[in-house]
Amino acid sequence: MNQEIRVKLAEIIFQNEDNGYTVAVGETDDLQCTVVGTLPAAVKGRMFALRGKWKVHPTYGEQFAFTEYEEIMPETTDGIVDFLASGVLKGVGPKMAHAIVSHFGDSTLSVIEESPDRLTEVAGIGPKKAQAIAEAFAVHREFAEVSLFLQRFDISPAYAMKLYRRYGAMTLQLLKENPYQMIADIRGIGFKKADAIAAKLGIDKNDSFRIESGIKYMLSYYVSEGHTYAEKATLLENTANLLEVSWELIEDALTKLTFDGSIQMEVLEGQEVVYLMPYYKAERNVCAKLAYIADARPKMIDIDMDAMISVMEAKRGIELSEKQKRAITAAVANSVCIITGGPGTGKTTIINAIIDGMTKGGLNVAIAAPTGRAAKRITETSGYYASTIHRLLEYAYSEEEEFLKFERNAENPLDYDAVIIDEASMIDLLLMNALVNAIKPGTRLVLVGDADQLPSVGAGNVLRDLIDSEFLYAEKLTEIFRQAGTSMIVVNAHNINRGEYPQCNTRDSDFFLMRCENENMILATIKDLVVRRLPAYYEGIEPKDIQVLTPVRKRTLGCINLNAELQAVINPPNPKLKEKQFGGRLLREGDKVMQIKNNYQMEWKEYSDYNVAVNNGTGVFNGDMGVVTMIDMVTRTLRVMFDDNRSVDYQFSQLDELEHAYAVTVHKSQGSEYPAVIITLLRTPEPLMIRNILYTAVTRAKKCVVIVGSKDVFYRMIDNEQIEKRNSSLDMCITELVNARK
């Protein structure tokens, strides 16, 4: 049960200006204590009623950790002087504070609030100064009222600050009229939080604002599942169940949202569907822009491609197939070209040859990939610099507008003759939209990827849709390079993709199936493989190089529990390693972690071998992996060194953006390669019992794959050729465009 203490802030030890987290010394009549919590109004000399609990910190001793606060306005003249002199009112220092209180006594605050023109009675204060003091005091009181009001609804002071910055003096009125407006205006506040506030405020469940917000929330849920639209009938049913309102009211709200431009309703193949407007516009724009780029004539280059390919074959000691040669030539000859194929089919070699041919022909070439790990791999294998697509497009994030934009766009296109994108299966619809917007006609666009892998984490099925439309030149590679053919990982990946059972546990193999029929046995086997067996068998492989993959997040063999189990054996407790508990996770120095959401504002630094910062920037992305290198309990920061040598400091309040990464879901592993991969398979939910999840997992490994689990589950996944169904209409949009041209 929470306690309340009333303190005067005697000293501010630490304060995070972004989120208001504060460590301070508070004084009561009887004691002096350390108080910790979110207190954006923390200024030495001010008084607060704090509600929370006494806790004992292992390093800093007893503290009062508060979750709610309320400012206590001073009543004595000394207290009023301290309050005014604290800096809360801009332009009022200690000298002026004494002068004001000397003149008005204990009525000072009433005068400032109710009769501010009387402040001119004090020497040195004119009408403008009096007005400024009154306005500053009003803002202070307004924010205090807003923050106190929102605490009743479990909205933190940090979000109270965001709301007040957005709405100002109208904050409480707007929230009482339509709390659902927060969803659109304040990132981090979702429908369920707004709906809970609305219920406490007594807003009727049939309120139009509520129904419209519920529809948008449900459509956003479909987007989070990868869909760009929802079938109308399904949307109606699910929204009605969520809101407990009639279909008729939802139909009325859909009509209104259509007229105000929030959604788009269409008929696809005889079925009514509903889009959030940004996804509808993005699909149409990608279709139109690609047609525009494909129609343009690319800059001609003077190079004998056949001779260049022959030189490359001799230099690398390889012999390309006719398909591979055709793919290289097509990439140079066409405005837009898609090259797809599985592992070992030479995609990397083809990328290198395309880059060589284009650069030798005098073209200015950009190479990019959706993730930092994939971009780094291209740089290492090709010798040419590759960036993420976000950096290629020069992303920028407006904190005030909470909006991501790209500096490279239709008005300011990329200044390249050719753009090559690897791992194109990972490109979602909105990123593809930004990319095609920034490519000017006459630029070659080459998309390289494996269309049989899982689709992008974000909404859309871009690569598959582009291939299925048959509008753009596409070359599918099927032959395995001679060198790759010696790897059972590559051979078995192709077997799985064809629905054939792979060869496991052969002599000198790199592909193993270890049959275990219960969770505890699987768990014990995985830990033994990671800590002992694989590092002993493969020279140069350490536990940190081994990636455990699982189809699921929850359950005993989901990544949440696996991470806790693996942390205990790979990076166990150690007096020399600092720790930080956050939610259900215990983060420890040396832990392998992953960023789980895009944070475009997060600052990073890149260090040389001599620990000197040589580069800096902003942006950490979903799927970036690294290691915790430092935890500082004083500054309340945790440092992560990511795989591409970027170092990032997280405030403790930001640790919800990190998860352990000893084990990750197959979806999260996309675009990455690991020396060794362990795949868990047992009692997988039916929607995940599909071939391309297994195929994607297997293709993440370079040296070794070990499947631990049920042989029956393994075979059932191979037999199930269904792919993860997504509602996307890019292919239909392109087909419609092609038919209109005929």
Angle between helices 488-497 and 691-698 (to 10 degrees): 170
686: burial class by Cβ within 10 Å (0-12, 13-18, 19+)? exposed
Q: What is the DSSP letter of 401?
A: T
Q: How many Å apart are CA 505 and CA 170, to the nearest integer? A: 69
Q: How many Å apart are CA 547 and CA 674, to the nearest integer? A: 7
Partners of 27 in the β-ladder: 8, 32
pLDDT, residue 610, reads: 58
**Contact between residue 677 and residue 538 where contact means Cβ atoms under 8 Å apart:** no
pLDDT, residue 531, reads: 93
**Contact between residue 171 and residue 142 where contact means Cβ atoms under 8 Å apart:** yes
pLDDT, residue 651, reads: 87
Helix (H, G, I), strand (E, B) or coil at 30: coil
Whether the CA torsion 35, 40, 44, 48 is positive or negative: it is negative
Beta strands in 253-370 (DSSP E): 263-268, 271-276, 336-341, 365-369
Q: How many Å apart are CA 632 and CA 166, to the nearest integer? A: 33
**Contacts by residues 21-24 (CB-CB < 8 Å, ≥ 24 positions apart):** 21/636, 21/651, 21/652, 21/653, 23/636
**Contact between residue 494 and residue 480 where contact means Cβ atoms under 8 Å apart:** yes
pLDDT, residue 554, reads: 87
The parts of the chain modelled with pLDDT lower than 70 are 17-19, 41, 156-158, 398-403, 481-486, 608-613, 742
| The two structure tokens encoding residue 393 | 């497009």
Phi/psi for 436 (5° steps) reads -70, -30
The C-alpha torsion from 421 through 424 and 426 to 431, rounded to 10°, is 60
270: which residues sit within 8 A by CB, 6+ positions away? none
